[in-house]
Structure 1
């Protein structure tokens, strides 16, 4: 009889546990990345658990041009190459190279030597999110435009 009760309780706990969390499933990339940024667990820190090295690309908003074509390459030796081009304004891209460092939480990189533009990126699964000049996540209707997607090897330079 005791085995039956223990088995029943075990099954009941499994059923309850499997139903938990489904209401919190993010619907958009932005919601998923926000959850990763605001609720990191020690086992999910980007620095130790993601294949963060690689090339990321996107077109971020621009106040006085069509957009900023942005490519960021992060290497395993913690160096970077940042290439930006102001679309409809610049003929040639601007490239900055240097080292980057991780924040204490292991989820955000700061590009050393980058001035007069955002230099911090939150690292997520197959993406980096450009943070604002104060290191904060951009919110609102344009938030998804600050996500740079990781390129596959075949898309690389």
Structure 2
């Protein structure tokens, strides 16, 4: 059985969209790699075991610094792409709209978001959405199931660019 690159990318997107795994057992750098010595990583993991799986950030983080509308056309195995628009609101809510190009299918969702990993990651949680994105300058980078920025030849396909207002 031969599976096309588009099909793999689409399956990967859907898997990461609906099955976010949280692993905050180690401190990570901007690229998602574990930081510190192995002893420090083990100590951090032991200390964080008593904490929630997801820790929110200090209330001093201001969503207005990254609020706005972001968009990308994500790969799709059985369509021409999934044009996705994400709006981040100042009141800790989001709206997402995904249109399957070449099909008559559109999914819309909304809900609250949490800032995690020292406000470097935004976690969108709605009825149909469970998505983590790394916050960049005027960009949001979709994370895989292990909370790492997607890499490889299709990495650019998973970057949401901020619209000019």
**Which of the five TM-score ranges fits, normalised by the shorter chain?**
0.5 to 0.7
Q: Does residue 70 in structure 1 map to residue 63 in structure 2?
A: no
Count of residue pairs the alignment pairs up: 109
Alignment partner of 1:121 is 2:114: no
- Match for 2:118 among 67, 83, 105? 105
Q: CA RMSD in A?
A: 2.3
Residue 17 of structure 2 corresponds to none
Displacement after TM superposition at 1:49 (Å): 9.3
Structure index of larger Rg: 1
Aligned mates of 1:62, 1:133 — CA distance in 2: 18
- Greater relative contact order structure (CA < 8 Å, 6+ sep): 2
- State the Cα distance separating 1:94 from its structure 2 match: 1.1
Q: Which runs of 4+ in 1 moved over 3 A?
A: 47-50
Report 1:59-98 matches (<5 A). 59-89=73-103, 91-98=104-111
What CA distance in whole angstroms lies between the structure 2 residues aligned with 1:49 and 1:77?
Answer: 8
Structure 2: where are the runs of 5+ without partners? Answer: 1-28, 33-60
The residue aligned with 1:134 is 146
State the TM-score, normalized to the length of structure 2. Answer: 0.59
Q: Secondary structure at the match of 2:65?
A: coil
Structure 1: segments with no counterpart, 5+ residues: 1-35, 40-46
Scaled by the length of structure 1, the TM-score of the pair is: 0.62
